[in-house]
Structure 1
Amino acid sequence: MAPPRNRRPGFSRRAQYGLFIGYVGAIGGALIGGVLLLLSTFNPPAFAAVRGVFAEITTPIASGFDWIRRGLGSIPDGIGSYFAVHGENAELRKQIADDKLTVTRAQTLEQENRRLRAMVKLRDVTTDAIVAARLVNSSSSSTRRYATLNAGSWQGVKRGQPVRDPSGLIGQVIETSPNSARVLLLADPESIVPVRRVRDGLPAIASGRGDGQIDIRSASVATMGFQAGDTFVTSGTGGVFPPDIPVARVIRTQGDIAIAQPAVNPDALDFALVQQTFLPEPVPAPSPSASATPAAQPKAAP
């Protein structure tokens, strides 16, 4: 049999305590409300003070709940903003990388244009220029140092002609073909160039070491000391290299020999200028014709 619905809660202490607390709360709330009502009617200043106290108590709690509400409400926007910012950062990084590549290309072009302008200026002021050609390659990892020009005999390039750029001497042509030429660089052990010291005109000989540097030896009988920083240019001796072309700068000394750095690094060049030799080649003397017959001798009188 089901228990009646109007059964009293006396059988449970928990239910009794709950009802008691509910009644006490209701009666207390009614009393507090009545007191506040009377206070607001008969003594508004006191009611304002009480209201201020309650406001001081409830404001931090309300602020905390409002902060929590705003934080929970901003979570979706924060997630969306994170992904949006992440995508924008990726695009900006890609744009920065593209801009760096563009700047690098522009700097390379600017350097090449500057070298070309210097080369054009040198060609214009040099009366013995043959051709300005591109340096196709150079051997920097071998003890033999050569470079290749994309100009040859069809462009007027001949064996023995000096090769230079506005900064200094590069080497000398040793082989030619119709559209290319092989250049012996200054750093090659077979390269020998007569030079002179700029500050006092001391004659010397510059020879390659095979490691990218040059040995400088005095050409005079007296032993002359070298100093770091001494600059050497071509002297014109020998009739191959025109005078006053920068050749090398001393970086250290070893006894009577100076170790010098070439004025030009062929690996960093794009173009070079081929010049005539300083002194023209001697014109061979005409050989007497083998078919020529001696003049007839007059007969002697009887």
Structure 2
Amino acid sequence: MTAKPIFTRGPSLPARLALCVIASLALMAADHHRHLDRLRQGLALTAYPVQWLASTPARIGKALAEQLAAHQVLVAENRALKRQVAELKRRTLKYEALKKENDRLRAFLDNSFKLGEQMLVAELLAVNLVPYEHRVLVNKGSQFGVHVGQPVVSVDGVVGQVVRVTPLTAEVLLITDPNHAIPVQVNRNGLRAIAVGSGEYDRLVLPNLPNNVDIRPGDLLVSSGLGGVFPQGYPVARVTTVAPQPGKHFARVEAKPTTALDRIREVLITWSQNTPSPFLPPTADAARP
């Protein structure tokens, strides 16, 4: 059996309403006279951690979204910059290649005026890959007036001569081919010799020179003009080795072509006017005793 409360009824509803109205008016009067400021500040300090914790997920989500958006923007900008850098590098390489080609063509033109001969610029189309056969194919043929036996030179020296012609192309035998020989002179003293190809792009051989021959390493060999093929006085090679051979009549004399025959891209096909060119002035090292 449960006990019954002593007071079965509380304050009446009008009494409660009146109490609430009186309490509200009292609080309004106290707030108007700033008696509740300390209480309000205390409650605000107490509620701040709760508010900060409640707003933390929203702040973290916003920060992550901003970071993700910034990362995506940076990635896109990085990709665009990489494409621009690659394009600029490609253009720079192209401009450098064009500049070098322009320099070579200028040098060809200057050489044409210096030699006083008619020349035709030709580009290499192919290189013979057979060992010890040094031949190249150029893009000028009989339609341009090219014929067999014509000398071919570069800005640095003699390259070879034309050995086969088609209407649009010509085959050039290089001076380093074992089947090629060119009459040369030592620019220092006028000594005549024959430079024969060795089968190596950087070596010519001068056979049948006696052990006491007046030739030195560093001497410049120029074309002598004998035979009427190559113009006189044009650089051919520079002496690299002079080795007398005891017990033999002839010395071992070798020279390096003045033209880098394994790196040429353009050549000059020459028409000689049968007017000999003067010897090149001796260089300081060749003139040195």
Taking structure 1 as the reference length, the TM-score comes to 0.61
How many residues were matched structurally? 223
1:230 counterpart (209, 219, 243): 219
Say if 1:125 and 1:253 are closer, same or farther in 2 by CA, change over 3 A.
Answer: closer
Say if 1:90 and 1:272 are closer, same or farther in 2 by CA, change over 3 A.
Answer: same
Identity %: 31
Please say which of residues 245-254 and 97-106 is displaced more in the overlay: 245-254
**Does structure 1 residue 272 correspond to structure 2 residue 267?**
yes
Say if 1:274 and 1:76 are closer, same or farther in 2 by CA, change over 3 A.
Answer: same
Distance 1:73 1:87 in 2: 21
The alpha-carbon deviation at position 108 of structure 1 amounts to 0.7
1:94 counterpart (79, 83, 94): 83
Show the counterpart of 1:211.
Answer: 200
The alpha-carbon deviation at position 75 of structure 1 amounts to 3.3
The alpha-carbon deviation at position 237 of structure 1 amounts to 2.5
Distance 2:76 2:242 in 1: 60
8 A Cα contact 1:195 1:234, kept in partner: yes
Query: Secondary structure, in 3 states, of the residue corresponding to 1:94?
Result: helix
Show the counterpart of 1:77.
Answer: 66
Q: Deviations over 1:237-276 (max 9, x none)?
A: 3322112211123445565334433222345334322223
Distance 2:231 2:91 in 1: 41
Q: State the AA in 1 paired with 2:185.
A: R
8 A Cα contact 1:186 1:214, kept in partner: no
Show the counterpart of 1:187.
Answer: 176
Show the counterpart of 2:133.
Answer: 144
Say if 1:77 and 1:225 are closer, same or farther in 2 by CA, change over 3 A.
Answer: farther
The alpha-carbon deviation at position 162 of structure 1 amounts to 0.7
Give 5+ residue unaligned stretches, structure 1: 1-68, 281-302
8 A Cα contact 1:195 1:233, kept in partner: yes
The within-5 A match list for 1:38-49 is none
Distance 1:119 1:73 in 2: 69
Q: State the AA in 2 paired with 1:115.
A: R
Distance 2:60 2:253 in 1: 76
The alpha-carbon deviation at position 192 of structure 1 amounts to 0.6
Please say which of residues 86-95 and 225-234 is displaced more in the overlay: 225-234
8 A Cα contact 1:130 1:157, kept in partner: no
The alpha-carbon deviation at position 72 of structure 1 amounts to 7.5
The alpha-carbon deviation at position 222 of structure 1 amounts to 5.1
Q: Deviations over 1:207-244 (max 9, x none)?
A: 11112122232665453376544332212233221122
Taking structure 2 as the reference length, the TM-score comes to 0.63
Distance 1:216 1:279 in 2: 27
Distance 1:259 1:101 in 2: 42
8 A Cα contact 2:201 2:261, kept in partner: no
8 A Cα contact 2:204 2:257, kept in partner: no
Give 5+ residue unaligned stretches, structure 2: 1-57, 245-250, 276-289
The within-5 A match list for 1:46-65 is none
C-alpha RMSD of matched pairs (Å): 3.7
